[in-house]
Chain A
């Protein structure tokens, strides 16, 4: 099934208006997705959507819907971060032939599209599968000044994009039973990687990650984004054999687990 057709079906009026039980909604998801097993649906997720008083997000269950909900939360974070940055004026408008502004306008547009795409994929805001946007604090309680200090903004942008790449990769296995959703997630995943490469290059780094280095100028708090990236054995093959460990690790990006990403995201959620 074509993913756009899938989304279309899933967001049709009857579904949007549906005030049925969560189980009904899940059944509709199951009927449409076919391969989405109802038995695997995360019933504990209501705590995620309704945790008005809770501060942190929690890991979603390892299901296709859980993966999409998790992805949506990350896209909320990126979308709000870039929208606030563009509004704040922290991004220089004229330097490098206007490059920085053009780059972040393009990235912001993609993150906004991803939020809309994933909300639609989850059945729209009225769906029981919908998750609300958390409240973000990108200053982390005043520790950072990303909307007043451009290098700080760039450093966080790099951390978010490199995290995004690893986060989607970590969800791939959760989507293997839903081929259309998997394809859509892969199509977002590679966009995040294009973003990450460009942001890194704007910061004077290589577009790819050498060993587990966070790169010059990155706050030590961002090291969690890079831990585990220095792997040089892939399915028993030594990727460092021909050109050394840096090249061997650069040639492969590594996944982060849901919990690892949740821990990173929670730094910015109040």
Chain B
């Protein structure tokens, strides 16, 4: 089975701190939540399935392929970013954990990512032939032992999320067929890159980390681009709602 996001509920008894990337690299045990629909759509057995459309297949929501698949994939990632920053700015010690500049940046990122999420929801709802069955549901998240009152934890996770977002959009651009959708993705990815740069400067201010050698190839000057199959296992570390991306590369 290709590109199934192996997201599982993090054992709440895990008290040791795990970074975002460590968390995502672990095959944590436990069953993911199967969402929506309960596979009662197995009529039309003889008709070839349109795999470009998102929807529940065999009991699990699949993102589909083509432009709708890519947009739904972006919607999933934006749901994660929006949820994360919503938790950050609402954490009990937000005002004391971060200084003025950091709070301004994190609040802006919260605004931008919520806008991106709501935009994708509205755009997909308007464009999908049957949004009630084809719109990706609201996902559930679990951040495990991530401490939202730890400046280090929050900024490290923000950095990982923003860099992942850049790599995801850069990698998905070539999958988009409509120039209008491509432009919309382009309008968003540069803002994600602006975010990544700002977060990296907060973490390591007097440095070249804003566009560091860990993300920008030192001989070509190119940023990272990754296929969905490389991104989803990373982003999936926090997503407890199970879904598949069998028809995206």
A–B complex contacts, Cβ < 8 Å, 22 sampled:
A99-B206, A113-B217, A113-B220, A117-B222, A183-B174, A186-B189, A188-B222, A188-B223, A189-B189, A191-B211, A193-B190, A197-B195, A197-B198, A197-B210, A201-B201, A208-B112, A234-B119, A237-B122, A242-B111, A250-B112, A252-B187, A254-B187
B197-249 CB contacts (< 8 Å) to partner A: 197-198, 201, 205-208, 210-212, 216-225
B24-55 CB contacts (< 8 Å) to partner A: none
Identity of the chain A residue whose Cβ is nearest the Cβ of B174 in the assembled complex: A179
Identity of the chain B residue whose Cβ is nearest the Cβ of A165 in the assembled complex: B190
Say yes or no: A255 contacts B189, CB within 8 Å.
Answer: no
Contact pick for B170, options A113, A190, A192, CB 8 Å: A190
Chain A residues in contact with chain B, CB under 8 A? Answer: 4, 96-99, 102-103, 105-107, 109-114, 117, 165, 168-169, 172-173, 176, 179-180, 182-184, 186-198, 201, 206-208, 234-237, 239, 242-243, 247-248, 250-255
Identity of the chain A residue whose Cβ is nearest the Cβ of B188 in the assembled complex: A252
Contacts of A235 in B (CB 8 A): 119, 123, 126, 180, 184
Contacts of A195 in B (CB 8 A): 197, 210-211
Q: Please, how many angstroms separate the alpha-carbon atoms of A111 and B219 in the complex?
A: 11
Classify the secondary structure of B's interface with A. helix
Contacts of A4 in B (CB 8 A): 220
Contacts of A114 in B (CB 8 A): 221
Q: How many B residues touch the partner, as a band?
A: 35 or more
Say yes or no: B119 contacts A97, CB within 8 Å.
Answer: no
Q: Please, how many angstroms separate the alpha-carbon atoms of A121 and B224 in the complex?
A: 18
Q: Please, how many angstroms separate the alpha-carbon atoms of A141 and B121 in the complex?
A: 50
Q: Please, how many angstroms separate the alpha-carbon atoms of A183 and B175 in the complex?
A: 10
Tally inter-chain residue pairs, CB-CB below 8 A: 196
| Contacts known (A117-B220, A183-B173); A190 close to B208, Cβ less than 8 A | no
| Contacts known (A207-B194, A250-B108); A107 close to B205, Cβ less than 8 A | no
Q: Please, how many angstroms separate the alpha-carbon atoms of A189 and B192 in the complex?
A: 11
Say yes or no: B201 contacts A198, CB within 8 Å.
Answer: yes
Contact pick for A102, options B170, B190, B207, CB 8 Å: B207
Q: Please, how many angstroms separate the alpha-carbon atoms of A193 and B174 in the complex?
A: 19
Q: Please, how many angstroms separate the alpha-carbon atoms of A117 and B221 in the complex?
A: 8
